Amino acid sequence: MPAERMNPAEVRAGASLAGVFGLRMLGLFFILPVFAVHAPSIRGGDDLTLVGIALGAYGLAQGILQIPFGMASDRWGRKPVLYAGLAIFAAGSFLGAAADDIWTAIAARMLQGAGAISSVAMALAADLTREQHRTKVMAMIGSTIAFMFALSLVGAPLLYRVIGMDGLFALTGALCLGAIALVRFQVPDPPALARAKPPRGALREGALSPELLRLNGGIFILHIVLYAMFVVVPPMLVQAGLELPQHWKLYLPVVLASFALMVPAILYAERRPKPVLLAAVALLAGAEAALGALDTGIAGLAAMMLAFFVAFNVLEAILPSLVSRMAPAQGRGMAIGVYNTTQTLGVFFGGLLGGWVATHYGTTAVFGVCAALVVLWLLFALGMRPVRAVN
């Protein structure tokens, strides 16, 4: 098999792990577009602060547990830890189906987040692919997640009308059980290296390496921006004349178009990742600044959201690839655990920041704060050392 082409095992690994991520994330995304509408119907759900905590609680639990899960997978193997994490996530989903008050919903979201398998699955993807194809596999996973996000925006309001919030939580649990079966029967077994005990100093290399710190800081900011934005973007669309059940008419074509536009950047990033990363961060900053200054028309919002999703999808694909290339092989699970910790903490703090800034300073200030954070990211990303090309 020519070195420049993915072999069948790599294609299978990428497709199956993308499916695992997709089934898990589809369930999570199904909750996001409708929970705030549903919350007033349960006890305590009229408190917007608690609603925001419920939405972001899984990110806090994920952030706490990503590193332990990653280190456990380095020690005891990827697949056993995947099974455990997916089972915990399913249990949280079924608890959510029984929730009739906001505190039970928060507990359910925390339990979902406690199944912190993202770092393990990404480490397994890195174990099963050669370095020169890792960005493609991460792009497969990232594109699947983005597609599931778009699908949830279309399907969640329709399903909510039919099966309600308890049905959506139960469906999430069922999808997670499907992901367990996918791991068992489709995901290839990892090589022996993945079961080796991490060498002494792996934690220091994975957490404190200057280059990895740049990447971890970047993914933290990226997810702060994403979740802060989605506190204010849906109301903006309603104010612009697009009712909530119709939001998919903007999101779906924007996300699908962003997939096509990201492909050339991903292919180029395999050989020269730093210029692509810097360009995507700059595009993200521009999109945030324009959203803050934009007169809220549908066409303008759609154009800026397209720019945002192109940048977001490119960064979601290349950042984990760079982490896997810079991390020590036997500590890769732990290093990706650190990365995913910062990512999911960004989810939690992004929701809090977006709600707090919007409440006290208005919608425009949310985009201004997001733009400032991305510019800060651009400044410290400029010092990243060039990454060697892979052939």
Matching residue, tokens 């596999």: 137
d(CA 189, CA 62): 25
Give the separation between CA 147 and CA 335, rounded to whole angstroms: 27
Is residue 160 situated within a structural domain?
yes
User: Quick check: is 284 in a domain?
Assistant: yes
Closest by Cα among 4, 102, 94 to 50:
102
Please give the pLDDT value at position 39. Answer: 79
State the Cα torsion 84-198-63-263 to the nearest 10°: -90
Residue 323, CA atoms < 13 Å, CB-side half-sphere: 35
**Domain range for 261:** 8-196+203-381
Tell which phi-psi region holds residue 297, choosing left (phi > 0), alpha (psi between -120 and 50) or beta: beta
The three-point CA angle 220-351-145 to 5° equals 65
> What is the pLDDT, as a whole number, of residue 389?
53
Give Cα separations from 317 to 118, 124, 164, 182, 277 (angstroms). Answer: 14, 16, 34, 22, 10
- pLDDT given at position 159: 85
Q: Provide the token pair at 97.
A: 């189906």
- Return the pLDDT at 1: 44
Q: What is the pLDDT of residue 193?
A: 52
Give the number of other Cβ atoms within 10 Å of residue 110's Cβ: 20
Kindly state whether residue 122 falls inside one of the protein's structural domains: yes
**Domain with 234 in it: what CATH number?**
1.20.1250.20
Minimal CA–CA distance to 325: which of 227, 212, 247? 212
Give me the average pLDDT of each 10-residue run along the chain (391 residues): 69 87 83 76 81 80 82 85 93 93 92 86 83 74 76 79 89 92 87 54 61 89 88 79 77 83 83 89 95 80 91 86 72 71 85 81 90 95 72 45
Please say whether the beta carbons of 228 and 369 come within 8 A: yes
In a domain, 3, yes or no: no
Q: What are the structure tokens assigned to 82, written together? A: 């995947």
d(CA 173, CA 93): 5
Number of structural domains found in the chain: 1
Contacts with 103 (C-beta within 8 Å, 6 or more apart), sequence order: 44, 50
In-domain check, residue 249: yes
Whether residue 388 is contained in a domain is answered as no
Which pLDDT belongs to residue 192? 63
pTM of this prediction? 0.76
End-to-end, the C-alpha distance of the chain in Å comes to: 14
